[in-house]
């Protein structure tokens, strides 16, 4: 019998085009050799052209799903994406917090999704307040992009020194570790910031920016990849580097799909394996 894979739970919305949300996350989790389980926080009507509508899940359904899964399986990592409503966000807090009586789940990565890349609201003001005031401090890492970091801190975040300052503010607001993703900046720069015995330590990850139309779901893919690497016992810096490498390769391997902003290719490694098998080379 083969070893049981690490189980990674994604708590996120449903994007029927599968570029973002739970169906995309399951692909990312499978690409990392982990076993994915999911709790759907809301449905969206969307295609590569953008989000038309979002309806949050009944909060009781969310709580019951999460309790049922956690009672059944040993969860090694948790990814949180779109929450959909304040009521759902509160149920996720109840599930992850001390009041659950379950003990802390390991490797919780919070991607604080506020809007879709096409600009649709995926969490309202009340939900954002729950996210900032209650959920942020329960996560091991949060992965805001520069716009989300600016919204949470009220500070401008458009270059590396502003990213550093915003990360310090986010620590003061309760975040244990932060990766601010700057994929939209001139150079693709991510900043990892975490508390250590020496105080706050920060590490910068830079790559050339890819010009591509296959960028739908990059935030979900990055944060889910981080949850997988942490679940596989990699440290924060290694997980950040490997997640960035995964997303960059998934963008580069994207196919032109749909009439809008197409999905990243979450399963690009399967194609590499198929090519290796077809050419008779070793895997
Ligand atoms: O990329 C953010 C995001 C997360 N989750 C769902 C989404 C989107 C963006 O469209 O639809 C379900």
How many other C-beta atoms are found inside a 10 Å radius of the C-beta of residue 41?
32
Tens digit of each residue's pLDDT (9 = 90 or more) over 186-233? 778 999 999 998 899 999 999 878 889 999 999 999 999 999 999 999
HEC secondary structure over the chain: CCCCCCEEEEEEEECCCCCCHHHHHHHHHHHCCCEEEEEEEEEEEEECCEEEEEEECCHHHHHHHHHHHHHHCCEEEEEECCCCCHHHHHHHHHHHCHHHCCCCCCCEEECCCCECCCCCECCCHHHHHHHHHHHHHHCCEECCEHHHHHHHHCCCCCCHHHHHHHHHHHHHCCCCEEEEEECCCCCEEEEEEEEECCEEEEEEEEECCCCCCCCECHHHHHHHHHHHHHHCCCCHHHHHHHHHHHHHHHHHCCCCCCCCCCECCCCHHHHHHHHHHHCCCCC
Pocket test for ligand 1, best of 41, 116, 121, 262 (most atoms within 8 A of CB): 116
User: The whole model's pTM is what?
Assistant: 0.96
- What distance lies between CA 229 and its chain's CA centroid? 12
Is the model's pLDDT at 279 over the cut of 80?
A: no
How many other C-beta atoms are found inside a 10 Å radius of the C-beta of residue 278?
8
Confidence of residue 8 (pLDDT cuts 50, 70, 90): very high
Cβ-based neighbours of 69, under 8 Å, separated by 6 or more: 9, 37, 39, 75
Position 245 scores a pLDDT of 95
Distance (Å) from CA 20 to ligand 1 centroid: 5
Residue 12 CB–ligand 1 contact under 6 Å: yes
Q: Which of 223, 163, 172 has the alpha carbon at shortest distance from 195?
A: 172
Q: Name the percent of the chain lying above pLDDT 70.
A: 98
User: Which tokens hold the place of 155?
Assistant: 């500070």
Answer for the pair 84, 49: CB distance below 8 angstroms, yes or no: no
Residue 218 CB–ligand 1 contact under 6 Å: no
Confidence of residue 68 (pLDDT cuts 50, 70, 90): very high
- What distance lies between CA 94 and its chain's CA centroid? 20
Q: Which domains, and CATH codes, for the chain?
A: 7-139+210-282 (3.40.1190.20)
User: Which ligand 1 atom is nearest residue 42's CA?
Assistant: 12
Distance (Å) from CA 270 to ligand 1 centroid: 24
Tens digit of each residue's pLDDT (9 = 90 or more) over 75-93? 999 999 999 999 999 999 9
| Residues 128, 132: Cα–Cα separation, whole Å | 6
Distance (Å) from CA 221 to ligand 1 centroid: 11
The neighbouring-strand residues paired with 152 are none
Q: Tell me the Cα Rg of the chain.
A: 18
| Residues 221, 242: Cα–Cα separation, whole Å | 12
Residue nearest to atom 8 of ligand 1 (CA): 116
Tens digit of each residue's pLDDT (9 = 90 or more) over 140-197? 999 999 999 999 999 999 999 999 999 999 999 999 999 999 977 777 899 999 999 8
Answer for the pair 263, 18: CB distance below 8 angstroms, yes or no: yes
Is the model's pLDDT at 282 over the cut of 80?
A: no
Tens digit of each residue's pLDDT (9 = 90 or more) over 106-130? 999 999 999 998 899 999 999 999 9
């Amino acid at each position: 019998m083969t070893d049981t894979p690490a189980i990674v739970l994604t708590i996120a919305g449903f994007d029927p085009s599968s570029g973002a949300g739970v169906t995309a996350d399951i692909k990312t989790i499978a690409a990392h050799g982990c076993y994915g389980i999911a709790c759907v926080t809301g449905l969206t009507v969307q295609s590569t052209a953008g989000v038309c509508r979002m309806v949050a899940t009944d909060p009781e359904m969310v709580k019951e799903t999460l309790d049922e899964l956690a009672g059944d399986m040993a969860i090694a990592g948790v990814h949180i994406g779109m929450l959909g409503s304040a009521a759902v966000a509160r149920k996720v807090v109840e599930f992850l917090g001390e009041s659950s009586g379950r003990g802390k789940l390991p490797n919780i990565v919070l991607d604080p999704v506020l809007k879709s890349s096409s600009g649709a609201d995926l969490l309202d003001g009340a939900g954002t307040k729950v996210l900032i005031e209650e959920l942020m401090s329960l996560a091991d890492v949060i992965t805001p992009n520069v716009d989300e970091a600016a919204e949470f801190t009220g500070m401008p975040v458009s270059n590396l020194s502003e990213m550093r300052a915003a990360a310090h503010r986010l620590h003061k607001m309760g975040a244990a570790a932060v990766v601010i993703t700057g994929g939209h900046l001139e150079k693709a720069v991510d900043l990892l910031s975490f508390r250590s015995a020496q105080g706050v330590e920060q590490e910068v990850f830079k790559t050339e920016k890819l010009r591509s139309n296959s960028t739908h779901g990059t935030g979900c893919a990055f944060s889910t990849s981080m949850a997988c690497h942490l679940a596989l016992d990699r440290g924060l810096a290694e997980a950040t580097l490997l997640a960035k490498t995964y997303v960059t390769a998934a963008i580069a391997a994207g196919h032109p799909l749909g009439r809008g902003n197409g999905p990243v290719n979450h399963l690009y490694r399967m194609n590499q394996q198929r090519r290796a098998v077809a050419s008779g080379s070793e895997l």
